[in-house]
Structure 1
Amino acid sequence: MYRYNEFDKAFVASRAAQFRDQIERWQQGSLSEDAFRPLRLQNGWYVQRHAPMLRVAVPYGELSSAQLRVLARVAREYDEPEAEVYRSALDAQRKLGTRRLPTHHAHFTTRTNVQFNWIPLSKAADVMDLLATVDMHGIQTSGNCIRNISCDERAGVAPDEIADPRPFAEIMRQWTTLHPEFAFLPRKFKIAVTGATEDRAATGWHDVGLRLVRDEQGELGFRVTVGGGMGRTPMIGTLMREFLPWRHIMNYIEAVVRVYNQYGRRDNKYKARIKILVKAEGQRFVDEVEEEFRQIVDIDGGPHTIEQAEFERVSRCFIEPPKLDTARVVDTHAPAMLEAAATSTPQLQRWLERNVAPHRDPSLRIVTLSFKRALQAPGDASADQLERVADLVDRFSAGEARVTHTQNVVLPWVHADDLLALWQAANAAGLASANVHLLTDMIACPGGDFCALANARSLPVAQSIMERYQDLDELNDIGEIDLHISGCINSCGHHHSGHIGILGVDKDGAEWYQMTLGGSDGSARSGDARPGKVIGPSFSAQEVPEVIEALIGAYVALREPRGECNETFIETVRRVGLEPFKAAADGVRATTEGTA
């Protein structure tokens, strides 16, 4: 993974010192609230429903064990509000009949960042100083700028990879950080990049989606889409270039952003995302970008062309980690021991099938640690869990981990003969849920429990579904389903891309939930990226688990065999259409109304 040099370290430390000075001036009253607000946002500090929220950047999802331990320390020592604030929050939640709100937790987001929900602003400067000791910060995790660049969590280790996208993501991260032309865009701007044949980075749903490809001559370049996004108007990115030589990727992004800066709406934030401009202008937008790109390259000389020497310099940071013992003696007894243990332990067998993936090195594996279990919100990790993950990362993955956009953690450097020991250790730590890609491996935003923008709570709904589906045999029989939950139309829970999407809506001051079916993030399991379709009026929180059960019941009745397996949920939805599922959901409403 990329290691900060002395310039990087000094930059982050000076930024933390600058923020400390800004906080002190705000506390003293010499910096007004209006003046302080953009400064704290530029460092990742929001003020949410009950307390401040810090968003920490995790560029392209990579974390070291040292960084995990500092995140654990932040959770343990700082993620606790003042008593009066917490009492007020609990009182508000008790009226809604919810559970106790967790403190001393981190939350993994769908942008692969890490959030903390309870840190008082009076402690913010100390937290930023602590994060800086392990090269972490909140720069550009907020505001109308180019945000954290996300990536395939299997980058550099996937067997289906054409080229490692991380060097490009890192070069673009350095280039976009505090770049004046990218700092005051009409709205926030998100880039995703992948180097694999399977799109595990959901590139079609981003403002700019980049996929590494090779042309007929074997030359490396990017397939570029622009204008994807969720929110009020979900759209899949428009194809701009089938092939762009890799050296020009930053020149091309600059052309895209310049056109966006020139023509993007600034009078209405709901119409300010680049997707609105792309849809409104169509081919004219493509032509404007191409002309701007021509001028940047032909007239300005392509000032942001990536030189071979620079690419090689950054690429050297993304080799096998020094702690990876490639010369270790292979344990010839390990495969037989693992097979015997899996035969006698169904839990282990399920975990090997669900949570373990092939690696480009046949002696290694990619392992997912799932945080999705009963009584824990999707994406949440306690301070203790973060430390346990750090221990597992050091012991089994050469000190490196990845955060996924599905809110789990991946260990990318696991020796095949360590799988049994890893499962035993992860199971003891409560991190061996064998549910990857199953119904309970759901995505959920923090929702109304924390977020000031939310119309409804996501986490209690997620918990009620989680508690209903705890039988792994039942989950495996149901098969793969992407369930995504958002507390409002901003779609931080990616409900648009869920096979089943749940959206919290406000109806006369009460929490209700709208259901969508047939969405896809663009992965091989789901097919081309597309938004789900609404299947009718909204449901109450109490009805949602019954609706999910009815939808799954309809699927089980309608699915067809596919060899030794069954047709998946999304395949059935696309084959038979929405009507049978809409009827099943409507049956829940009719039953509820009849009971009432």
Structure 2
Amino acid sequence: MYVYQDYDRQLLNERVAQFRDQTRRYLDGQLSDDEFLPLRLQNGLYIQRYAPMLRVSVPYGMLNSTQLRTLGHIARTWDKGYAHVSTRQNIQYNWPELENVPDILAELAKVEMHAIQTSGNCIRNVTTDEFAGINAAEVEDPRPWCEIIRQWATFNPEFAYLPRKFKIAVNAVPNEDPALIGVHDIGVQIVHRDGETGFTVLAGGGLGRTPMTGEVIGEFVPWQHLLSYLEAILRVYNKYGNRDNKYKARIKILVKALGAEKFRELTEAEFAELKDGPITLTADEVDRMRGHFSEPAYDGSATDQPAALTEALASSKAFNRWYHTNVHAHRQPGYAAVTLTLKKTGRAPGDITDTEFDAVADLADQYSFGELRTTHQQNIVLGDVRQDQLFALWEALEVLGFATPNLKLLTDIIACPGGDFCSLANAKSIPIAEAIQRHFEDMDYLHDLGPIDLNISGCMNACGHHHIGHIGILGVDKKGREYYQITLGGRGDKTSRIGEKLGPSFEADEVVPVIARLVDLYVEQRQPDELFIDTYERLGIDPFKERAYASHH
């Protein structure tokens, strides 16, 4: 993990002191709501439906156990005993009191954490694959590049007043898109050409009101010029982005309006000015960054498929099922990555309590070198678990309720907080997610269905990524009543694709029966080993539409 230098610490502590003073002045009536707004947004603070919401940055999803215990302590001391893992790998608190936020930020600073640039019209948290650095399929570890981008973007005055929020993701896996770079404002794909590292840079992806997938702007950007090229794209956006209408302010609208060709031309013109300037990267700087992501002290004698694992798989059906769902291959022999699903029926997807923070921190120390990762599926990963310890870890997770073997299955739902918390939402998400989970609680059936991405958003802003769910559900408001629109065929895996609308929206109590009918059709029509998304692509939307509205009066 990146380790803070003295200047990082100084910067953070000054920032905390500054915001403490700003909050005091606001509470004393010296700053108006409008004056305080940009100050609180720059420190990750939203005013939600019932209370402020504080969003804590988790750069590219990496945390250590000390940080996790601090997150638990904050939930216990200043919130209602829980927090939420967001789809940008960040941690959100739903109930802090405004006057306590400076104290929370001071606690975070002690463990090298902050809430800087987690909101507002700036460059947000840079994200990547949750298996970054341990994924055997990647061309190289993307995390040093994420950190380079993060440091360049933080407090950069040129990006403090963008037309709209801005999100960057980095991917290092060829022919797969675990980082969802196709639906980001900028997507960076690491490629190797003739032994040199370079980047294919996409721009103009994004979900929300008008979902789009990104266009390739830079075919092969040499590593020395990564920041110059990104800055060139941002300059074009800053110059030409729409500031008059926030619905048309995202870079995707600009790329679409200008066309990829023209956008590329404008970017190249800016890039020509920036190239070989002060933000050109040096080999020393890249090596220094890579040095922060050295591998842990792996046990060289650990082997793949050790006897203890083979035995446990044979003797426990429940462990076997979890192993085949929630355990991911690792590039280091004898190790595996384990996903803890925060998707237990009866609680909001992605929620984790103060005591669970502590328990997971203990497990990270015991089984995974004290490190863990948050995922955009709203789960947690222990990245470096010895295979002969998987059974013991699973037993501990069972007790905690984190061993639900439903990763990537229908009930591993991504859902935004929705109308229960968010002031933007048109409809609730959490009760719909829970109703679906209750309906499909038979694990044998779920496993038989195979991977299905089901994503729910409570409004057009698409925080639940419903557009790229194989099944997407969007809450809409019709004359003050909550309805749900369903989309099918979205993808965020090998390729990013936006789902198609099924037809008119459904009332809340119709959602589960409709999902059940769609799933039944899949079961009837699928070929051997065919996934839901493949059956959908083979049949097209019409049979699904017909089945969904079959008993609609």
Give the superposition deviation at 1:331: 8.6
Decide whether aligned partners of structure 1 residues 211 and 341 sit closer, same or farther in structure 2, where only a CA change above 3 A counts: same
- Aligned runs of 1:69-468 on 2, under 5 Å? 69-79=69-79, 103-197=80-174, 198-215=176-193, 217-282=194-259, 283-297=261-275, 301-321=276-296, 324-326=297-299, 330=302, 335-468=306-439
Give the superposition deviation at 1:240: 1.0
Give the superposition deviation at 1:352: 0.7
- Aligned runs of 1:33-48 on 2, under 5 Å? 33-48=33-48
Work out the CA distance in 1 between the residues paired with 2:249 and 2:444.
46
Work out the CA distance in 1 between the residues paired with 2:483 and 2:353.
29
Work out the CA distance in 1 between the residues paired with 2:298 and 2:280.
36
Provide, for residues 461-508 of structure 1, a one-character-per-residue CA deviation record: whole Å limited to 9, x for no partner. Answer: 000001111111110011110000000000000000000000000000
Work out the CA distance in 1 between the residues paired with 2:347 and 2:356.
12
Work out the CA distance in 2 between the residues paired with 1:331 and 1:515.
46
Secondary structure in structure 1 of the residue aligned to 2:342: coil
Residue 505 of structure 2 corresponds to: 538
Asked if 2 retains the 8 angstrom alpha-carbon contact of 1:539 and 1:589, the reply is: no
Which residue identity does 1:391 align to in structure 2? Answer: D
Give the superposition deviation at 1:33: 1.7
Work out the CA distance in 1 between the residues paired with 2:156 and 2:13.
18
Which residue identity does 1:549 align to in structure 2? Answer: A
Give the superposition deviation at 1:76: 1.0
Work out the CA distance in 2 between the residues paired with 1:545 and 1:66.
41
- Is 1:470 matched with 2:437? no
Asked if 1 retains the 8 angstrom alpha-carbon contact of 2:67 and 2:111, the reply is: yes
Give the superposition deviation at 1:242: 2.2
Work out the CA distance in 2 between the residues paired with 1:331 and 1:220.
31
Secondary structure in structure 2 of the residue aligned to 1:549: helix
So what's the TM-score if we normalise by structure 1? 0.91
Residue 589 of structure 1 corresponds to: 552
Asked if 1 retains the 8 angstrom alpha-carbon contact of 2:65 and 2:365, the reply is: yes
Which residue identity does 1:547 align to in structure 2? Answer: V
Per mean C-alpha deviation after superposition, the further-off stretch among 203-212 and 337-346 is 337-346
Secondary structure in structure 2 of the residue aligned to 1:543: helix
Which residue identity does 1:292 align to in structure 2? Answer: E
Give the superposition deviation at 1:399: 0.6
Which residue identity does 1:65 align to in structure 2? Answer: S
Residue 7 of structure 2 corresponds to: 7
Asked if 1 retains the 8 angstrom alpha-carbon contact of 2:133 and 2:143, the reply is: yes
Provide, for residues 251-284 of structure 1, a one-character-per-residue CA deviation record: whole Å limited to 9, x for no partner. Answer: 0011000010101100100000000000000121
Asked if 1 retains the 8 angstrom alpha-carbon contact of 2:303 and 2:334, the reply is: no
Per mean C-alpha deviation after superposition, the further-off stretch among 5-14 and 401-410 is 5-14
Residue 520 of structure 2 corresponds to: 553
Work out the CA distance in 2 between the residues paired with 1:296 and 1:453.
39
User: RMSD of the alignment, in Å?
Assistant: 1.2
Work out the CA distance in 1 between the residues paired with 2:223 and 2:389.
37
Secondary structure in structure 1 of the residue aligned to 2:63: strand
Identity of aligned residues (%): 53
Asked if 2 retains the 8 angstrom alpha-carbon contact of 1:478 and 1:556, the reply is: yes
- Is 1:574 matched with 2:537? yes
Give the superposition deviation at 1:588: 4.2
Decide whether aligned partners of structure 1 residues 349 and 36 sit closer, same or farther in structure 2, where only a CA change above 3 A counts: same
Work out the CA distance in 2 between the residues paired with 1:425 and 1:481.
27
Give the superposition deviation at 1:589: 2.5
Work out the CA distance in 1 between the residues paired with 2:233 and 2:501.
32
Asked if 2 retains the 8 angstrom alpha-carbon contact of 1:156 and 1:164, the reply is: yes
Work out the CA distance in 2 between the residues paired with 1:495 and 1:438.
15
Asked if 2 retains the 8 angstrom alpha-carbon contact of 1:547 and 1:588, the reply is: no
Give the superposition deviation at 1:387: 1.2
Which residue identity does 1:533 align to in structure 2? Answer: E
Work out the CA distance in 1 between the residues paired with 2:545 and 2:432.
20
Give the superposition deviation at 1:401: 0.5
Provide, for residues 500-558 of structure 1, a one-character-per-residue CA deviation record: whole Å limited to 9, x for no partner. Answer: 0000000000010000000001x2xxx42100000010011111111110110010011
Work out the CA distance in 1 between the residues paired with 2:547 and 2:449.
17
**Stretches of structure 1 lacking an aligned partner (at least 5 in a row):** 80-102, 591-596
Work out the CA distance in 1 between the residues paired with 2:222 and 2:321.
43
Residue 98 of structure 1 corresponds to: none
Which residue identity does 2:214 align to in structure 1? Answer: G
Decide whether aligned partners of structure 1 residues 518 and 331 sit closer, same or farther in structure 2, where only a CA change above 3 A counts: closer
Work out the CA distance in 1 between the residues paired with 2:28 and 2:322.
54
Residue 502 of structure 1 corresponds to: 473
Asked if 2 retains the 8 angstrom alpha-carbon contact of 1:12 and 1:137, the reply is: yes
- Is 1:27 matched with 2:27? yes
Which residue identity does 1:312 align to in structure 2? Answer: D
Asked if 2 retains the 8 angstrom alpha-carbon contact of 1:546 and 1:588, the reply is: no
Secondary structure in structure 2 of the residue aligned to 1:318: coil
Work out the CA distance in 1 between the residues paired with 2:298 and 2:538.
48
State how many pairs are aligned.
Answer: 551
Work out the CA distance in 2 between the residues paired with 1:584 and 1:66.
51
Secondary structure in structure 2 of the residue aligned to 1:542: helix
Which residue identity does 1:482 align to in structure 2? Answer: D
So what's the TM-score if we normalise by structure 2? 0.98
Work out the CA distance in 2 between the residues paired with 1:36 and 1:409.
34
Residue 85 of structure 1 corresponds to: none
Asked if 1 retains the 8 angstrom alpha-carbon contact of 2:303 and 2:333, the reply is: no
Provide, for residues 66-96 of structure 1, a one-character-per-residue CA deviation record: whole Å limited to 9, x for no partner. Answer: 11111111111111xxxxxxxxxxxxxxxxx
Give the superposition deviation at 1:330: 4.4
Provide, for residues 573-594 of structure 1, a one-character-per-residue CA deviation record: whole Å limited to 9, x for no partner. Answer: 000001111111102423xxxx
Which residue identity does 1:60 align to in structure 2? Answer: Y
Provide, for residues 307-326 of structure 1, a one-character-per-residue CA deviation record: whole Å limited to 9, x for no partner. Answer: 110111111000113xx353
Work out the CA distance in 2 between the residues paired with 1:315 and 1:248.
17
Provide, for residues 219-276 of structure 1, a one-character-per-residue CA deviation record: whole Å limited to 9, x for no partner. Answer: 1111110000011110000011221111111000110000101011001000000000
